[in-house]
């Protein structure tokens, strides 16, 4: 199985498979994005998303913490940040991966 990535004008939408890492440079063909926000839509309470920059050991740019429920968790950046978003599946918890959604907005 693999993650599903859809990229439109200024937005990347990822539906994780729960076991495959997601790397912007590999999954979208573009390494650096000027990110303005990251949103996580969890599938259940206690889902968690961590997004890092450049590698699975890179600087943490987003940590949803344990989701209280299925409401979206949104992190806007007052100053857009250049980054290559990376998601290490082993750091994340998705109750039902196909019901989660990660939305990265960029300019």
Domains and CATH numbers, the chain: 4-106 (2.60.120)
| Cα dist from 74 to 7, 8, 26, whole Å | 19, 19, 24
* pLDDT score of 59: 97
* pLDDT score of 43: 98
Q: What is the pTM of this model?
A: 0.95
- Single out the residue of 86, 102, 5 nearest to residue 53, CA to CA: 86
Per-residue pLDDT of the chain (107 residues), as tens digits, is 699 999 999 999 999 999 999 999 999 999 999 999 999 999 999 999 999 999 999 999 999 999 999 999 999 999 999 999 999 999 999 999 999 999 999 99
* pLDDT score of 107: 97
């Amino acid at each position: 199985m693999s993650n599903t990535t859809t990229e439109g004008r200024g937005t990347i939408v990822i539906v994780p498979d729960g076991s495959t890492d997601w790397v912007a440079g590999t999954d979208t063909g573009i390494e650096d994005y000027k990110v303005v926000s990251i949103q996580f839509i969890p599938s259940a309470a206690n889902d968690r998303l961590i997004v890092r920059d450049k590698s699975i050991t890179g600087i943490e740019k987003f940590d949803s913490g344990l989701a209280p429920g299925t409401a979206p968790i949104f992190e806007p950046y007052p100053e857009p940040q250049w980054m290559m978003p990376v998601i290490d599946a082993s750091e994340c918890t998705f109750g039902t991966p196909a019901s989660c959604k990660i939305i990265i907005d960029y300019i």
